[in-house]
């Protein structure tokens, strides 16, 4: 196994609570470089205490890409492999050996398993491939937010599933700057489909339903918007917006489009089930629920919706079968839902109601 020089680089702002855990996870790196963007707590002091090389610079106006590029500039030119991390992320043990066994002299970038969201038992809820491990030369960060790496040279990717990074975000940390930065990003790159999708999604998060619809329709009309998973997500978010505007026919139309766009994904079927439940269309729930369950593979993508792979489908099917008089199937699906989420009191209460109904028969 060839030995490579591996450096971790990061940006930080008021993240003292994460420093010890972060530094412990990267202790096998040859060096750790952190750009502190103006912390007022003990972040800098603690980083230095645990061995990081720290530089301070306030970025005004704030842009993630500029901060990332300054932090990357801190990494020595003779570094073979750069790992870009945030302080709320953790490299899982054994990462260095796995990385050096995968990397070769022609590699420029690594895809790895990124657990964006985990439950209380540390089981992944949302997991996908990320690619922020890269060669030192010929890379820069672009876009004000949801920034990505860009290289003028042809890239050589390798996938390393056994290299895992877990994300443990600070839920109290404000992300209020994202909307303005996304609007700036689209203004700077109006033909970038990825950023247009993110902006539409952000409008949805802010309950700006009409702006969400208009922006995501723009996304779908961009020539570069060819990734079916993301197109399907835009259609689902348009449907969600129409539901919140009480325009259910249009919502159903867009969910049918989403199913047609990516019939291999559970997500549009489950969103259709949720709409049918709202409309008390129990036969519709059964129709789309049974179709969703035919899909066995969970695509490893950030587009994944947790509700497509937890107890939601089984919960909805149990209710639909109960209301259509099929108590045996209602019990089958409620039992399946409870196996997935045994502590949900509502599910447990529903089972009691189903059993009482069966006994009355």
Structural domain total, the chain = 2
Is residue 325 a part of any domain in this protein?
Answer: no
| 288, 188: one domain | yes
pLDDT given at position 307? 95
| 148, 188: one domain | no
Q: In Å, what is the CA distance from 164 to each residue of 51, 123, 299?
A: 23, 13, 17
Q: Pick from 112, 117, 141: which is nearest to 127 by CA?
A: 117
pLDDT given at position 359? 74
Residue 293: CA count within 13 A, CB half-sphere: 16
pLDDT along the chain (361 residues), means of 10: 90 97 98 98 97 97 97 98 98 96 96 93 91 97 97 95 94 85 97 97 98 98 97 98 98 98 97 98 98 92 90 98 96 97 95 87 58
The parent domain of residue 118 ranges over 6-167
| 148, 187: one domain | no
CA 163, 30, 165 angle in degrees (round to 5)? 25
Using an 8 Å Cβ cutoff, are 218 and 206 in contact?
no
Query: How far, in Å, CA of 116 to CA of 132, rounded?
Result: 14
| 107, 215: one domain | no
Query: How far, in Å, CA of 26 to CA of 279, rounded?
Result: 51
Last residue of a domain, one of 133, 148, 167: 167
- This prediction has a pTM of 0.92
| 186, 68: one domain | no
CATH code of the domain containing 130: 3.90.550.10
| 22, 123: one domain | yes
| 23, 146: one domain | yes
CA 240, 243, 245 angle in degrees (round to 5)? 115
Last residue of a domain, one of 117, 147, 167: 167
Is residue 89 a part of any domain in this protein?
Answer: yes
Is residue 356 a part of any domain in this protein?
Answer: no
Helix H, strand E, coil C: the string for 110-169 is EEEEEEEEECCCCCEEEEEEEEEEEECCCCEEECCCCCEEECCCCCCEEEEEEEEEEECC
Is residue 65 a part of any domain in this protein?
Answer: yes
pLDDT given at position 361? 58
| 95, 184: one domain | no
| 162, 190: one domain | no
| 119, 158: one domain | yes
Strands 124-135 vs 140-142: parallel, antiparallel or unpaired? unpaired
Last residue of a domain, one of 119, 140, 167: 167
Residue 323: cis peptide before it, omega within 30 degrees of 0: no
Angle at which helices 228-244 and 248-261 cross, to 10°: 170
CATH code of the domain containing 261: 1.25.40.10
Is residue 332 a part of any domain in this protein?
Answer: no
Using an 8 Å Cβ cutoff, are 141 and 157 in contact?
no
Using an 8 Å Cβ cutoff, are 190 and 144 in contact?
no
């Amino acid at each position: 196994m060839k030995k490579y020089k591996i450096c971790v680089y990061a940006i930080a702002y008021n993240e003292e609570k994460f420093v010890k855990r972060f530094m412990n996870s990267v202790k096998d790196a040859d060096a750790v470089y952190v750009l502190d963007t103006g912390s007022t707590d003990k972040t800098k002091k603690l980083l230095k205490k645990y061995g990081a090389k720290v530089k301070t610079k306030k970025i005004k106006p704030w842009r993630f890409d500029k901060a990332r590029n300054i932090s990357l500039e801190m990494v020595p030119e003779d570094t073979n492999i750069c790992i870009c991390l945030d302080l709320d992320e953790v490299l899982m043990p054994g990462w260095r050996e796995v990385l050096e066994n995968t990397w070769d002299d022609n590699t420029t970038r690594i895809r790895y398993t990124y657990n964006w969201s985990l439950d209380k038992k540390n089981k992944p809820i949302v997991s996908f491939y990320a690619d922020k491990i890269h060669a030192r030369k010929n890379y820069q960060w672009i876009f004000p937010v949801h920034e990505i790496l860009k290289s003028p040279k042809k890239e050589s990717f390798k996938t390393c599933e056994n290299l895992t990074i877990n994300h443990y975000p600070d839920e109290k940390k404000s992300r209020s700057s994202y909307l303005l930065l996304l609007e700036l990003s689209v203004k700077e790159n109006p033909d970038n489909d990825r950023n247009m999708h993110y902006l539409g999604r952000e409008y949805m998060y802010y309950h700006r339903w009409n702006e969400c619809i208009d922006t995501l329709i723009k996304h779908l009309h961009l020539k570069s918007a060819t990734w079916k998973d993301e197109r399907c997500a835009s259609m689902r978010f348009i449907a969600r917006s129409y539901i919140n505007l009480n325009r259910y026919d249009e919502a159903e139309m867009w969910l049918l489009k989403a199913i047609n766009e990516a019939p291999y994904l559970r997500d549009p079927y489950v969103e259709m089930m949720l709409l049918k439940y709202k409309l008390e269309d129990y036969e519709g729930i059964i129709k789309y629920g049974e179709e969703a369950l035919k899909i066995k593979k969970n695509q490893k993508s950030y587009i994944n919706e947790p509700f497509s792979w937890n107890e939601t489908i089984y919960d909805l099917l149990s209710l639909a079968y109960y209301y259509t008089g099929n108590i045996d199937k209602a019990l089958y699906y409620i039992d399946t839902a409870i196996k997935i989420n045994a502590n949900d009191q509502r599910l447990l209460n529903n089972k009691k109601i189903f059993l009482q109904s069966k006994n009355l028969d």
